[in-house]
Amino acid sequence: MTCYFPIPPSIKESNLEDKILGSLTLLNFPNNFKKSNQKKIYKGNIFLGIYILEKNSWKLLKVFKIAYKEFKEIEREKLNISDNEMAVVVISKNNNFPSSCTNLPNPSSLRIDESPIAERASYNFSYQGKQTSFQGEYPKKMASLSKASFFGFDTIKGLKTNGKIINFILFINLNNCSERQSNDIINIYDPKKKNILFELKTRENMISVHNLSLLYSKINNKTLFLSSKSKAYIALILSIDLETYNLSLEHTHPPAEMAIGMDRHLIVKPIKNNWVI
Amino acid sequence: MKIFDKKRLPYNLRILGSHIFKNSFNPFSLKSRLFSPDKVSDFFIWSPNFEKIEFIAENINALVSGKVQEVVHNFIFYNSSGEFIREYKYETKEFFSKIILPTNISRDKYISFLHFANSKSSLKDILKKVGTKKKLKISKQSRGYTIFSAKKGFIGSTVHGNLGGITSNNEKTLKQRSLFIYTPAYLFSHENIYELVFNNPTDRNLLIKVTSLSSQNLREIIIKPMGTDFIQIKNFEGGINIESKLPICRPFIFKNSPPSNLGFDVFHG
């Protein structure tokens, strides 16, 4: 399974002196392999093509080269693009990226065998020298979906009694076709009453960032559910403590992760039937 | 045109085929794939270094049935040597619960725990009630989140569990295979102090060796079954390799754990 790597956004908020800065760290080395297969490791350079959306096309913004066993940190601020426009990294073993395309090029893979851990990059957010990270990816298969839906929950939001905290929710949607840019709505609702409390605007091929603390000013420690009937998202919750500037970041599990076994997919349908509203 | 579609083969035959051809990559035992246990738990971390540790527990049966259902969230703690310490139970009907875990469980710097959501009905029974007719090969998997707060008033840092595959009867469905290398795409910085926390969800001692990307040996540890240990990394810049016989051997990375005030973070390596 190959992957794309959308570049995390930077976030400007009136309560914060500076921006929360998004960056992505990639490594030219396979994530996971059987030791007996290490002779198969690709030792050449890899190239990171950064594509942004320009009208209805993917436009190549920049190419970085990474040598074997080297890291590259891609900071959004240094790309001279807006804070949350879609910018996506495509890995290739050759520097032959098209300058413009409708479908993102197929990414290369550094995998050398069937070891189970997917190819990942570090997604980082930092504020005044403090940083939070998680290991993530956007599977190519997910970027090729023509029809999908989304169910999530907000229980991982940070809570603080004196309220000096901001929780952001980030919805990442990537489609390899640049023409897919239709708008969408994510419903936020109370699972017991199923009454929709908020509607968040999102779009295909966009990372939308929403300040939950602003939205939830009158809601306390309740878990609310999130759903979309028409698009798939990776949802991240980023919290910042306004006193210590500590940050926290995690993603919500998709329903399929609540089970294992050959029939694990059978859990998804009833959950989505119940909760995608 | 697809001449051979393996999905048309009987399930057990597919499992056996996969066992013969791909077994060395599969983290799960053949037995657990043929006879799915009712539920399995990830393997989570607890530490006395934090003033508050919360756990986000999912009530999967309630989510599948679509209505609130009573559930007893059962936490089972093991010390760093893998010996059972105690249980902690929490009853609720909620779909998701944020549960504050006890603070006085162990003096060991890091220990591990399991979480099971016990209900009157099994997941398989509930799936049958909502219309799934076939004989199911499915296990409910506890994949909750742990939130570590250095001080009670601070926001915590959140991390999900490590693949555990441990059943409520304490059977281990994960197997050690041949040697695997895992390399997180994470650039360690000399400004920070990291503790890479590993636990052993298998039934044999687990040897873990951490080296730098330039093959400099950083440290080796041996963890007993159900045990927990950690490797401290400081004054180090670069990437690391983690070598073990677990196909999936990802540490919890605690960066600048308290009392450090350099900026705490915990994430899954």
A129-147 pLDDT tens trace: 999 999 999 999 999 998 8
Task: For residue A169, give both structure tokens.
Answer: 């929710």
- Residue B6 is predicted with a pLDDT of 67
Task: For residue A256, give both structure tokens.
Answer: 């399929």
- Residue A159 is predicted with a pLDDT of 79
Return mean pLDDT, chain A. Answer: 94
Chain A positions in Cβ-Cβ contact with residue B267 (cut-off 8 Å): 132-135, 249
- Residue B96 is predicted with a pLDDT of 95
Q: Which is more confidently placed, B80 or A15?
A: B80
Instruction: Read off the pLDDT band of A37 (50, 70, 90).
Output: very high
- Residue B24 is predicted with a pLDDT of 82
Instruction: List, for residues A97-116, the tens digit of each pLDDT value.
Output: 999 999 999 999 999 999 99
Interface residue B112 vs chain A (CB under 8 A): no
Q: Domains of chain B by range and CATH? A: 27-167 (no CATH), 180-268 (2.60.120)
Instruction: List, for residues B16-58, the tens digit of each pLDDT value.
Output: 777 676 678 888 888 888 888 889 999 999 999 999 999 999 9
Search chain A and give the residue with CA nearest B255. A132
Rounded CA gap, A57 and A67, in Å? 29
* Closest CA of chain A from B179, distance in Å: 6
Q: Over 90: is that where the pLDDT of A66 sits?
A: yes
Indicate the residue of A36, A122, A191 with minimum beta-carbon distance to B185: A122
Instruction: List, for residues A117-126, the tens digit of each pLDDT value.
Output: 989 999 999 9
Three-state SS across chain B?
CCCCCHHHCCHHHHHHHHHHHHHHHCCECHHHHHCCCCEEEEEEEECCCCCEEEEEEECHHHHHHCCCCCEEEEEEEECCCCCEEEEEEEEECCCEEEEECCCCCCCCCCEEEEEEEECCCCHHHHHHHCCCCCCCCCEEEECCEEEEECCCCCCCEEEECEEEEEECCCCECECCCCCEEECCCCCECCCCCEEEEEECCCCCCEEEEEEECCCCEEEEEEECCCCEEEEEECCCCECEEEEECCCCCCCEEEECCCCCCCCCEEEEC
Give chain B's residues under pLDDT 70.
1-7, 11, 19, 21-22, 133
State the ipTM, two decimals: 0.94
- Residue B17 is predicted with a pLDDT of 73
Task: For residue B57, give both structure tokens.
Answer: 């527990």
A34 to B96: CB separation less than 8 angstroms, yes or no: no
Task: For residue A187, give both structure tokens.
Answer: 């419903």
- Residue B2 is predicted with a pLDDT of 57
Chain B positions in Cβ-Cβ contact with residue A125 (cut-off 8 Å): none
Instruction: Read off the pLDDT band of A220 (50, 70, 90).
Output: low
pTM comes to 0.94
- Residue A199 is predicted with a pLDDT of 96
- Residue A105 is predicted with a pLDDT of 98
- Residue A252 is predicted with a pLDDT of 87
Residue to substitute from B63, B242, B254, interface A, most A β-carbons within 10 A: B63
* Closest CA of chain A from B143, distance in Å: 7
* Closest CA of chain B from A158, distance in Å: 6
Instruction: Read off the pLDDT band of A264 (50, 70, 90).
Output: confident
**Closest to A32 measured CA to CA, from B53, B112, B249, B57:** B249
B113 contacts B166 by C-beta, under 8 angstroms? no
Residues in B 240-269 with any Cβ partner in A closer than 8 A:
243, 247-248, 250, 261-265, 267-269
Rounded CA gap, A213 and A164, in Å? 10
